[in-house]
Amino acid sequence: MLIRYKKSMEKIAMGLLSFMPDVKEVKKLQQTIQEYNNNPNWHLFLWKDEDDILGALGVVIDEDKAIVQHISVDPSHRGNGIGKQMVCELRNMYSPMHQVTATDETKNFLEKCETEA
């Protein structure tokens, strides 16, 4: 299930976000986490399965859109549908108030989720 990121989960979130190609660099990763901590329009969610945190999904709210800018799953748990479940829960959370859209980096994955739905 998706849970809202809290500052106490920062190291776990940074670890998961580091799997994203555009935030691998430590400085960029720190800037990204700071944005999620400080910007009220940036929302970061973590995927919790029992006691384990296995994924991260970050969105930016821009008027009527929820733009998915980060999506990452622990490599040892990929291929199990976690990313798709995260996107599905996110759509349920934000619809109908916001249209869930993607960045260039997340577009292919979101399109894949739609075709498999």
pLDDT of residue 22: 83
Note the pLDDT tens digit of each residue in 67-76.
Answer: 999 999 999 9
Q: d(Cα 54, Cα 101) in Å, to the nearest integer?
A: 22
**Looking at residue 102, which CATH number applies to its domain?**
3.40.630.30
Mean per-residue pLDDT of the chain: 94
Q: List the domain range (segments joined by +) for residue 33.
A: 2-116
How would you list the strands of the sheet with 99-102, edge to edge?
2-4, 42-49, 52-62, 65-73, 99-102
Note the pLDDT tens digit of each residue in 2-14.
Answer: 999 999 999 999 9
Bridge partners for 71 per DSSP:
57
Q: Look at the chain and report how many structural domains it folds into.
A: 1
Bridge partners for 48 per DSSP:
53
113 versus 36: which is more confidently predicted?
Answer: 36
Of 15-29, 31-45, 48-62, 65-79, which range is least confident?
Answer: 15-29
